[in-house]
Amino acid sequence: MTYIRPEFRHPELPTNDLGYTKQNYEGSISTLCAGCGHDSISGAIVQAIFEMSIPPHNIAKMSGIGCSSKTPTYFLGNSHGFNSVHGRMPSVATGANMANRDLIYVGVSGDGDSASIGMGQFAHAVRRNLNMMYIVMNNGCYGLTKGQDSATADVGSKSKKGIPNPFEAIDLAAVALQLGATFVARSFSGDKKQLVPLIKAAIAHRGFAFIDVLSPCVTFNNNPGSTKGYEYVRDHLAATNTVDFVPMREEITACYPNQTSEEVTLHDGSVVHLCKMDDKLNVHSRQSALNMMQEYKDDGRILTGLLYMDPDSQELHENIDSAKKPLRGLTESDLCPGSKVLDNINESLR
């Protein structure tokens, strides 16, 4: 089926610095189930990018296969998008990024897409510190193939079918930390206040910015026995910090009196402002992040917020020393050595 979106624009719709309204950042109407967590994440992406005043065509949307991977149709309609094959978005994003380092790459994947079939590609994109934001819409199940347990389902968690999952869960945030990810966060689709600034910080980060977003599947995994349903997640959520993303030279919003605040300055001068709820987390230490996540987990709680970031990270292009301009813009004169050089090569082969 196709949906035609009514062309309606309120004359007083707020615009961003570029003069675009939020509508310029929206996509076509979602065909996901009503109440699906993934739609809220799409909304958060639209909100963040609108507020950051990024020209929509400067973004490339990348995804794999799954309900989650369909969402790029539902946000940023003026950006090119690439819905690739199941679990292989990281490689397509890698190639795209190599071709044009000037675009911003927004990757969206599912827990099946990233923690099972695409685990290898996920790991290697992390390891190469590919410059992109990578969101996993984590519902603990395979939505699109009707609710099978995924590798992120917790031990004992029950999907709608009612059978407890016997296997250990893969925690993608922990895996990313161990693989050397330079930005790792966790959030919840129902917590836009936390998610929107996290997305902004992830986009501003230079390198691989990973956000594991718990995103309930209302159709197959939102029942009482599930640890990835709305109710369970809301009841067990614990934020380690709230985040505010401050573009260059803007005033920082204040924290509440009983909270400590910390600022992390990014490569482009923008600032990530943390209001800490738990002073024990040191966002500059992988070990601290891993320990805290485990501590909360043992306690039956889910730690959210910015877990780790390295503001000085070197992304893939820097590591391979490739040209500063987009490679795709190079022309014959930059690329082709010409016939004289070829004659010399011929001569050396005689």
Partner 1 sequence: MSKKFNRTPLVNDLVVKFANVNGTGSASANNMFAKALFRMGLSVSPKNIFPSNIQGLPTWYEVRVNDKGYLGRRDGIDIMVSVNPQSMAKDIQEVVPGGYFVYDNTKPLDPRLMRDDIEFIGLPLTQICLDEYKDARQRQLFKNIIYVGALAALINIEFDVLTGLVADQFKGKEKLIAPNVHALELGFQYAKNNFNCPLHLTLERRESNGDKILIDGNAACGLGAVYGGATMAGWYPITPSTSVVEAFEKYCNRMRIDPGTGKKNFAIVQAEDELAAIGMVIGASWNGARAFTATSGPGVSLMSEFLGLAYFAEIPAVLIDVQRAGPSTGMPTRTQQSDVLACAYASHGDTKHVLVIPSTPKECFDMTAQSFDLAEQLQTPIIMLTDLDLGMNDNMSEPFEWDDERQYQRGKVLDADALENMTERFGRYLDVDGDGIPFRTYPGTHPTKGSFFTRGTSRDEYAVYTEDGSAYVDNMERLLKKFETAKQYVPAPEIINAEHGSSVGILHYGTSMHATLEAADLLADEGLAVDTCRIRAFPFAKEIEEFIEQHDTVFMVEQNRDAQMRSLLVNECEIDPKRLNKILGYDGMPLTAQFIVNKVKQKTAVTSNVKPLRRKTAGN
Ligand X SMILES: Cc1ncc(C[n+]2csc(CCOP(=O)(O)OP(=O)(O)O)c2C)c(N)n1
**Interacting residues with ligand X (CB under 6 A):** 65-68, 86, 110-113, 137, 139, 141-145, 150
CB of 192 to ligand X, least distance (A): 19
Residue 79 half-sphere exposure toward CB, CA atoms < 13 A: 30
Nearest in space to 54 (alpha carbons), one of 98, 9, 105, 101? 105
Task: Answer yes or no whether residue 220 interacts with ligand SF4 by CB under 6 A.
Answer: yes
**Residue (109 or 240) nearer to partner 1, CB:** 109
Segment 122 to 161, residues that bind Mg ion, using CB under 5 A = 139
Segment 76 to 135, residues that bind partner 1, using CB under 8 A = 77-85, 88, 90-100, 102-103, 120-121, 123-124, 128
Segment 199 to 218, residues that bind ligand SF4, using CB under 6 A = 217-218
Task: Answer yes or no whether residue 69 interacts with Mg ion by CB under 5 A.
Answer: no
Tokens of 267: 């490569």
- Angle at which helices 89-99 and 119-128 cross, to 10°: 30
Contact 316, 96 (CB under 8 A): no
Nearest in space to 90 (alpha carbons), one of 250, 208, 255? 208
Nearest in space to 243 (alpha carbons), one of 257, 263, 217? 263
**Residue (67 or 239) nearer to ligand SF4, CB:** 67
Task: Answer yes or no whether residue 111 interacts with Mg ion by CB under 5 A.
Answer: yes
Q: Which residue is nearest to ligand SF4 (CB)?
A: 143
Task: Answer yes or no whether residue 161 interacts with ligand SF4 by CB under 6 A.
Answer: no
Nearest in space to 293 (alpha carbons), one of 165, 148, 120, 174? 174
DSSP string, 178-193: HTT-SEEEEEETT-HH
**Residue (33 or 238) nearer to partner 1, CB:** 33
User: Residue 102 gets which letter from DSSP?
Assistant: T
Task: Answer yes or no whether residue 335 interacts with partner 1 by CB under 8 A.
Answer: yes
**Residue (170 or 327) nearer to partner 1, CB:** 327
Q: In whole angstroms, what is the distance from residue 148 CA to residue 151 CA? A: 10
The alpha-carbon radius of gyration of the chain (Å, integer) is: 21
Residues that bind partner 1 (CB under 8 A): 2, 24, 55-58, 60, 62, 72-73, 77-85, 88, 90-100, 102-103, 120-121, 123-124, 128, 316-317, 320-324, 327-328, 330, 332, 334-339, 341-342, 345-346, 349-350
Which stretches of the chain bind Mg ion, using CB under 5 A?
110-112, 139
Residues that bind ligand SF4 (CB under 6 A): 32-33, 36, 38, 67, 139, 143-144, 217-220
